[in-house]
Amino acid sequence: GAVVSQHPSWVICKSGTSVKIECRSLDFQATTMFWYRQFPKQSLMLMATSNEGSKATYEQGVEKDKFLINHASLTLSTLTVTSAHPEDSSFYICSFGAVYNEQFFGPGTRLTVL
């Protein structure tokens, strides 16, 4: 399968600060990237879909001004959690893949907001 990296793997920040998470595809290019969030003992919930060269599409209930997504290139996507609060503490996972085909997930970033 494809190799996807995420950085950082974990981050602890104070409430009100912003955190940027990077997601890179190491061995293939994809026009479509996905960001998921997973709370403890729950399944993955899609936050947004981004296509290279266009704005991200956010799922219902996900604040686009709070979770900024930049699909900078065919191998890089970033998620910035702005003005983070404790309720944003979660496991954030990116993935690359073609629609209707396998998605390959990054290792995830565990965010803890104090």
Partner 1 sequence: QKEVEQNSGPLSVPEGAIASLNCTYSDRVSQSFFWYRQYSGKSPELIMSIYSNGDKEDGRFTAQLNKASQYVSLLIRDSQPSDSATYLCAVYRADEKLTFGTGTRLTIIP
Q: Which of 11, 19, 21, 34 touches partner 1 by CB under 8 A?
A: 34
Judged by CB under 8 A, the stretch of 20-28, 41-49, 61-69, 73-81 that binds partner 1 is: 41-49
**Cβ burial, residue 16 (10 Å; 0-12/13-18/19+):** exposed
Q: Which of 46, 62, 74, 76 touches partner 1 by CB under 8 A?
A: 46
Q: Which of 14, 43, 54, 61 touches partner 1 by CB under 8 A?
A: 43
Task: Give the C-alpha separation, 111 to 35, whole Å.
Answer: 14
| 64 in Cβ contact with 58 (< 8 Å) | yes
| 36 in Cβ contact with 93 (< 8 Å) | yes
What residues line the site for partner 1 (CB under 8 A)?
Answer: 1, 34, 42-46, 49, 59, 91, 93, 99-108, 110
